[in-house]
């Protein structure tokens, strides 16, 4: 029966978890709780998805009104835009949407577990943490529940599987290195190594970087950057290094890398100069992307300029900024949030442009 098969799979999973060095004890208990969650039918799935989307629609309407009016909308304005009788109807719809999303997620946790189990079954080493991978998969499942549109006709599991697999794979990639690099670099590096082996077997020699790039559609610069990023290795600041100043003197004393680096930078103003240049570059960048009033607010907010009315000496409050610049607190808060959002969008665009070069 289905119940017997489920019980057998659960026992096999527990045995696999106990034999894997990458699985924390807490995940074994969590796996038991996952199997206690009831599955949902296709009809329930559609109903839950529709309730989730309706709640998200109401929240999106609120955000749109806030942006359009440059203030928080009144209850009447929100109800009129949403087509609801009163705020009680809106609150009830949002609560039902949150409950529906939670049920949609909890009833599909087995899917995340099955993806993580694939990595464990293939020999996930102690270098990785299956619990972290499970967590990333659940976050992706929540995101899929928020984006799922049941009226398009596909099943939720089909739609969410893409999100979960991509997130778990990304988690494994990020755990494989102390300093993370973009997932695209990992994928390009794997492709380059595969093509390099194939071309070396065909040509009888090791192919050049230009030949490798031409085979998979990358320039030599992109290939060089890919190999350089993946070949970087971290070194411990506590590692002992031999005294190389007088190698023939018989002095076998060893210093740590931290002591050597510290001795080279002591007594100079390198850090101070670096902070000055960084401050100048930051202010120049702010002026390039924001209005003078927005730049002034951010400099005051984050301590680049002193606020005379600040009594605590730390980061000034919105009220203190309001008194300093002569604007209402709500206006100050909106300007700061809008500026930060704009800077984040610019940073994302520049990062995507940088990734495309890689």
DSSP annotation of 310: -
* Average pLDDT value over all residues in the chain: 79
Model pLDDT, residue 354:
45
Residue from 32, 37, 10 nearest 107 by CA: 37
Provide the domain limits for residue 194: 183-231
The CATH number for 108's domain is 1.20.120.1810
Tell whether 211 and 278 lie within a shared domain. no
Do 97 and 189 fall into the same domain?
no
pLDDT at 146: 92
What's 275's domain CATH number? Answer: 1.10.10.10
Distances 224 to 173, 180, 181, 188 between C-alpha atoms, Å:
20, 18, 15, 11
- Judge if pTM exceeds 0.75: no
Candidates 210, 228, 227; CA nearest to 219 is: 210
| Domains identified in the chain, total number | 3
Question: Phi/psi of residue 58, each to 5°?
Answer: -65, -40
Residues 105 and 145 in one domain: yes
For residue 243, tell me if it sits in a domain: no
Placement of tokens 């100048």 in the chain: 280
Of residues 101, 173, 174, the one with CA closest to residue 138? 101
pLDDT, tens digit (0-9, with 9 covering 90-100), for 11-61: 555 555 655 555 666 776 777 777 777 888 889 999 999 999 999 999 999
Classified as helix, coil or strand, 240 is: strand
Is the same domain home to 205 and 309?
no
Q: Alpha-carbon distance 142 to 107, whole Å? A: 12
**Residues 68-94, mean pLDDT to the nearest whole number:** 88
**Cα–Cα distance, 203 to 195 (Å, whole number):** 12
171 with 210, same domain?
Answer: no
């Amino acid at each position: 029966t289905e119940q017997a098969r489920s019980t057998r799979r659960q026992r096999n999973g527990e045995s696999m978890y106990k034999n894997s060095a990458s699985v924390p004890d807490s995940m074994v208990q969590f796996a038991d709780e996952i199997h206690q969650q009831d599955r949902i039918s296709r009809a329930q799935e559609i109903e839950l998805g529709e309730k989730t989307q309706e709640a998200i629609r109401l929240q999106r309407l609120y955000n749109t009104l806030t942006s359009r009016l440059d203030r928080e909308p009144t209850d009447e304005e929100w109800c009129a835009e949403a087509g609801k009788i009163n705020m009680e109807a809106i609150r009830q719809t949002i609560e039902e949407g949150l409950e529906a999303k939670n049920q949609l997620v909890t009833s599909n946790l087995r899917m995340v577990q099955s993806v993580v189990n694939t990595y464990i079954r293939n020999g996930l080493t102690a270098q990785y943490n299956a619990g972290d991978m499970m967590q990333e998969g659940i976050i992706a499942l929540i995101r899929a529940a928020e984006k799922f549109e049941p009226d398009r006709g596909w099943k939720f599991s089909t739609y969410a599987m893409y999100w979960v697999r991509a997130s778990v794979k990304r988690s494994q990639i990020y755990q494989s290195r102390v300093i993370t690099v973009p997932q695209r670099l990992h994928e390009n590096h794997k492709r380059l190594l595969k093509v390099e082996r194939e071309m070396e077997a065909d040509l009888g020699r090791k192919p050049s970087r230009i030949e490798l790039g031409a085979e998979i559609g990358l320039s030599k610069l992109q290939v060089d950057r890919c190999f350089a990023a993946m070949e970087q290795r971290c070194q411990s600041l506590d590692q002992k290094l031999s005294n190389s100043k007088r190698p023939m003197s018989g002095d076998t004393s060893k210093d740590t890398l931290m002591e050597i680096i510290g001795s080279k930078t002591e007594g100079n103003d390198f850090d101070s100069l670096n902070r000055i240049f960084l401050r100048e570059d930051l202010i120049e960048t702010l002026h390039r992307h924001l209005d003078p009033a927005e730049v002034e607010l951010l400099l005051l907010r984050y301590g680049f300029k002193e606020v005379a009315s600040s009594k605590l000496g730390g980061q000034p409050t919105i009220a203190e900024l309001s008194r300093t610049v002569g604007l209402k607190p709500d206006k100050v808060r909106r300007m700061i949030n809008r500026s930060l959002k704009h800077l984040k969008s610019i940073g994302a665009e520049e990062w995507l442009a940088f990734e495309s070069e890689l």
